[in-house]
A and B are shown apart, each in its own frame.
Chain A
Amino acid sequence: MKPALRLVSLSSLALAAALFPGCATSSGVRNPSGTAVRELRPDEAGTVRTTGVESQDLVAVTDKMARSILAIPQIARAQVAPRIVLEPVVNDTRFPINNDIFLTRIRVQLNSKAAGRLSFLDREMMKTLERERDLKRSGQVTASADPNVVEFRGADYFLTGKLSGLSQRTGGGTSDYILYAFRLTDARTSEIVWEDAAEIKKEGVADAAYR
């Protein structure tokens, strides 16, 4: 082979070697084929993260609150199972959330672990229940008891909560602190008989391409 031809060949080879790696379509791409659906525990942090309220936070906070409520004397030593009404949680953070989800999980935890030591009144169903009572009173439907007797139970305690947040963002990233505070209020005296809280702080920095 002539020297000139050899030089051209070597140059072409070098050029190809330099350019081809950059042209590889999926080279350097993490997980180009995606991820198949996988099951996670609700208390496990997934691949997709935010600095807001995540399922593991919900599980951790509601577990803690349920254990805490069951330990108070008003519940643990009650002669008659106290009746509790849930009031919507107030969201005072920067994250839109389903306000009912915290109390729903706390109620489920308490009902499953309290073994009848407390009961919950379903105020969400009040309109339906009142309509049914009126039908019974009017004789349009049958009744197993006297419909004119008021049997809707009153609450002994109100359980509610508030999520408060403190957020910061700079060019370096985002930081969010959330205080999950819950309380049990005596319906007769307005006394707060129990209160507990959980705190979670998260931070993250987005890729420079988004800053």
Chain B
Amino acid sequence: MTSDRPTFAGWVSRAALGAGLLLGAGCATLEDEYPVRFTGDPVQDARPRDKVLVEYREALAALRTGKYPEAKLYLDDAIRRIGGLLSGPDDAAAKARGLFAAEGTKTYIGEPYERAMAYYYRGLLYWRDGEVDNARACFRSAQLADSEAEGAEHRADFVLLDYLDGLASAKLGGDGAGALARAAAHSQRELPPYDVRANVIFFTEFGSGPRKYAGGDFGEQLRIRTTDSKVRSAKLTVAAQEVRFLPWDDLNFQATTRGGRVMDHVLGRKAVFKGGADAVGDVALVGAVIAAQNIYKPVEKKPEPKAEKKPETRAETKPEPVQDRKAEPPAPSRRLGRIEAIEAERRAAAEQEKQQAAEAKKRKPDETKAAKPEYEKDEDAANLALALGAIGIFAKAISVATTPEADTRTWDTLPQFLSTGTAALPAGEHEAILEFFDAGERRIDALTRKLTVTVAEPNRDTVVFLSEHPR
């Protein structure tokens, strides 16, 4: 059987095109079909799976600009969503665990340190509203959110949360000694004893918090990037009192000491599968190429018998046997005749080449093609090449579709350091100066600011939120 040669590349192209169409055509998700009606409100416009993240950011921005009702609204909704995770099977989470959906498709609730911060901010807002027991409840939930760390020494190790838990208990007439002892156990510095007469509580933060990024061959490893804050402490001067704010908790430390997650194991398996599918695809495609090279083999022509070949002009110039030449040297006349014969042969050969060249120009292209060597198709090699090609493309497509990437959505407006302090102030407005200091205790003048501390009711705690970041 004979056929034209290169068609395998065409088949591979068609198959690849088909696979591409299959993969690219319609893997639309429910989120993509979600009707988008932008309202200008970032929370309303957020994708459902990102809503908690947007609420975190908006709540903190509202808190830093003194829009407390707005901050409460966002935090309450976010915390409700966190709490509702135990409602039963979670479709988005199940999908995120699958091979073909990234972890980022699940509903965002944040890593434990992010969840803890949502409870912490809500807690200080409850305290501000005079609901000290609910504030304490939030600090406890925050500490519980941080209790999933792999290493026991890093579980529930926020100093500030235990300290505030105990302070709230003391304010409510209870005993905060247990919580204070827990806080002291995790603290690197001596903590001030509770002063229940202090009626102003300052919640302070400075620096920029951790960021997430994806590492590993396929981005399957969740990693944390930290940047040390230039600000290392702060001081508030109010009514001739100085309140120092040293770093009690470091969110960079909290974020990087969680250890492994259950989801990391899932993502690791996804990465292994992706790598395996890719390797299978490589091997199959290489095998397909090798098989394709053997589909067409040149037809082996049987050599024509020599006897049938007629001698051409060489018969006339057939040299004499060597032994004759050795035996009898050529005479001058015979030598001249020989030279003439060779010259005649050359002229004849040149003439023949000219004629052949002229005939080749006159020939049609198909005649030229037909003159090329003929090939025989090997059906087994063709089928093998096709099968391996299909397997290779399928495996490659599966590999491409497998998404082991870790979820790197980050509450990126969090601070690095948290601190607190108290003061006893009479009712009224008090001018204050807030200063920030670097590691060498040098004041950072650009961050110094004046503010007014207003104590409305001396018998009720006044909560003041101080941040290096105005927004």
Contact = CB atoms under 8 A, between A and B. Distances in A.
Nearest to A20: B22
A26 B27 CA distance: 10
A49 B263 contact: no
A15 interface: yes
A12 interface: yes
B131 A8 contact: no
B397 A210 contact: no
A25 to B, nearest CB: 5
Nearest to A12: B18
Contacts of B84: 48-50
A154 interface: no
B386 A8 contact: yes
A23 interface: yes
Contacts of B19: 15
Given A19-B22, A94-B141, A209 B266 contact: yes
B263 A11 contact: no
Interface stretch (A36-44, A65-73, A95-103): A95-103
A39 B87 CA distance: 18
Contacts of A170: 147-148
Interface string B15-40: 10011001101111110110000000
Interface stretch (A85-93, A113-121, A179-187): A85-93
Given A3-B383, A96-B137, A15 B85 contact: no
B133 interface: yes
B170 interface: no
A139 interface: no
Given A210-B106, A211-B148, A49 B22 contact: no
A193 B126 CA distance: 33
B172 interface: yes
B394 interface: yes
Interface residues of A, number: 51
Interface in B58-100: 83-91, 93-97, 100
B383 A209 contact: no
A125 interface: no
Given A4-B382, A19-B22, A90 B133 contact: yes
A29 B27 CA distance: 14
Most chain B CB within 10 A, of A20, A48, A96, A205, is at: A96
B93 A207 contact: yes
A31 to B, nearest CB: 8
Contacts of B83: 50, 52
A96 B11 contact: no
Contact of B386 (A7, A18, A167, A207): A7
Contact of A22 (B11, B89, B100): B100
Given A25-B33, A171-B148, A209-B97, A15 B386 contact: no
A204 B86 contact: yes
B390 A15 contact: yes
B430 interface: no
A32 B93 CA distance: 14
A148 interface: no
Contacts of B263: 208-211
A65 to B, nearest CB: 19
Contacts of A1: none
B137 A174 contact: no
Given A3-B379, A7-B383, A209-B90, A32 B394 contact: no
Contacts of B261: 211
Nearest to A203: B86
A210 B114 CA distance: 13
A211 B88 CA distance: 15
B91 A48 contact: no
B387 interface: yes
B387 A11 contact: yes
Most chain A CB within 10 A, of B28, B85, B379, is at: B85
A127 interface: no
A206 B19 CA distance: 37
A64 interface: no
Contacts of B126: 96
Contact of B262 (A29, A95, A96, A208): A208
B140 interface: yes
B66 to A, nearest CB: 22
B137 A49 contact: no
Given A4-B382, A99-B133, 6 more contacts: A18-B394, A23-B28, A49-B87, A91-B136, A167-B144, A209-B97
14 contacts: A4-B382, A8-B14, A8-B15, A11-B390, A12-B15, A16-B22, A50-B86, A50-B87, A91-B133, A96-B137, A99-B133, A171-B148, A205-B86, A209-B94
Top 3 nearest A-B pairs by Cβ distance?
Answer: A204-B86, A207-B93, A94-B140
Interface of A: 3-4, 7-8, 11-12, 14-16, 18-20, 22-23, 25-26, 28-32, 47-52, 90-97, 99, 165, 167, 169-171, 173-174, 204-211
